[in-house]
Structure 1
Amino acid sequence: MSEADLSGADLSAAILKRADLSAAILKRADLSAAILIEANLSGANLSGAELRGAILIEADLRGANLKEAILSGANLSGADLSAAILIEANLSGADLRGANLKEAILSGANLSGADLRRADLSDAILKRADLSAAILIEANLSEADLSGANLRGANLSGADLSAAILKRADLRGAFLSEANLSKADLSGADLWGANLIEADLRGAELSEANLSKADLRKANLSGAELRGAILSGANLSEADLSGANLRVAILSEAILSGADLRGADLRGAFLSEANLSKADLRKADLSGANLSGADLSGANLNEADLSGADVKNAIFIDAMGITPEQKQDLIRRGAIFGDNSNDRSKVLV
């Protein structure tokens, strides 16, 4: 049946195991519940076809045209869909475990609730795709384009998203623990409440991203671009933010205890009520930052720049690297050191 024209044919529940349908024309054909295990559909035209509930385990769909095809609930585990066209296809609830979707075009596709564990989506185009609640554990999405995609509540634990494009993507409540997001573009993305524990975000672009209430414990954000990012209430305890750009970022009430902020740019950042206890702020630039009510007890501020920072009611108890002159200046500005040095009558000029 290679190259056969089966446009509009009714092949529902047909048994086509290992069938050769390469380059066949199956536009708008009904293949619902069909058994196509190990079938060869490479280069086939299945645009608008009905494949709901079809079994396509380890099928060859390389370069196939599945534009607007309905594959909801289909079993495509281990299938080869590399370079396939799946624009606006419906793959909701589909089983794509271990499937090869390298360089596939899935713009506007519905993959909500789909199981994509360990699937290869490297270099795939998923612009505006719906991946809400999808399972992408250990999936390969390196260099994939997910701009504007809906990944709300998706499980991407251990996934490889290195150099992926996630501009303005919706990742609210997503699970990204131990995911590789190094050099990924997440500018303007919504990561509210996302789980990013021990995630690799080295050199990632996160400018103006929303990371409010996100869990970034022990995450690696060294050299990350976080200018204007919103991190209110985020947990960044023991995170690596060395050399990160956090200029004018909003970190009010964020937890940064034990975080590595060496050489970080925090100019004009909002850190009111933030927990920076035992944080490493050596050579960090905090000029013009709002540290009102922040907890910097036990923090290392050696060579840090606090010029023009708002330190009213900020706690510096046991903070290290502060010279006697700096200490007196900070007290004048309302900082708290918790010893007799806070008797302002001794420091007023």
Structure 2
Amino acid sequence: MNAEELMRRYEAGERDFSIADLSQASLEGVNLSGAVLHGAMLDRANLRGANLSQAVLSGATLKGADLREADLREADLSDAVLDEARLTGANLEGAILDQADLTSANLEGADLTGADLSEAEMYAADLTGAELDYANLQQANLTKAELDKTNLKGANLEDANLKDAILDEAIVEGTILEGRL
């Protein structure tokens, strides 16, 4: 399936595109709100500014995907692979990212307010200036993560691994920090 066929079928009312191969597809600025892309291959896809709010991307592979300024509010990205994905300025408010792989992902300035990142792999992820207030980061691996100027107000970091994480000027008021430092 290519990007044009996906959009034609979406506009015709179809929503389930599970396990579709859209690697390197150009989907910049498209509206796929509520689409089901469970297990889809979206490696290196251009989804910059796309509306993926309430989309199901569980188990999807988005290695190196461009999701800058994308709307992923309340999207299900559980078990998704987002290694080296660019999510700068993305809106992930209320998103489900439990057990997602965000190794070396760029989430600079992203809004993850109330997101579920429990057991997420975030090794060396850049979360500089991100909004993680009231996010669930239980058992997340934040080893070597950049958390400079990150808002962690009310976040749950219980049993999270923060070894060698950088927390300069991070806001940690009301944060649960019981875990491995």
Common fold by TM > 0.5: yes
Q: Does 1:88 align with 2:39?
A: yes
Query: What corresponds to 2:50 in structure 1?
Result: 99
Determine which of 146, 166, 169 is the counterpart of 2:120: 169
The number of aligned residues is 181
**Cα RMSD between the aligned structures?**
1.7
Q: Shift of the alpha carbon at 1:42?
A: 2.4
Q: Shift of the alpha carbon at 1:41?
A: 2.7
SS in 2 for 1:42: helix
Query: What corresponds to 1:152 in structure 2?
Result: 103
**Cα separation, 1, equivalents of 2:7 and 2:52:** 17
Query: What corresponds to 2:76 in structure 1?
Result: 125
Q: Shift of the alpha carbon at 1:37?
A: 9.3
Where does structure 1 differ by over 3 angstroms across 4 or more consecutive aligned residues?
Answer: 37-40
Query: What corresponds to 1:42 in structure 2?
Result: 10
TM-score for both structures, normalised by structure 1: 0.50
Q: Which runs of 5+ in 2 are unaligned?
A: none
Instruction: Kindly provide the CA deviation profile for residues 145-176 of structure 1, in whole angstroms up to 9, marking residues without a partner as x.
Output: 00000000000000000000000000000000
Larger radius of gyration: 1
Q: Does 1:71 align with 2:22?
A: yes
**Cα separation, 1, equivalents of 2:6 and 2:21:** 19
**Cα separation, 2, equivalents of 1:42 and 1:66:** 9
TM-score for both structures, normalised by structure 2: 0.96
Answer whether contact 1:133 1:152 (CA < 8 A) is retained: yes
Q: Does 1:198 align with 2:166?
A: no
Q: Does 1:116 align with 2:106?
A: no
SS in 1 for 2:46: coil
Instruction: Kindly provide the CA deviation profile for residues 216-255 of structure 1, in whole angstroms up to 9, marking residues without a partner as x.
Output: 000001110112x122xxxxxxxxxxxxxxxxxxxxxxxx
Answer whether contact 1:111 1:134 (CA < 8 A) is retained: yes
SS in 1 for 2:126: coil
Summarize the alignment of residues 1-349 of structure 1 with structure 2, pairs less than 5 Å apart.
31-32=1-2, 36=4, 39-42=7-10, 64-227=15-178, 229-231=179-181
Q: Shift of the alpha carbon at 1:113?
A: 0.5
Residues 78 and 215 of structure 1: CA distance in aligned 2, closer, same or farther (over 3 Å): same
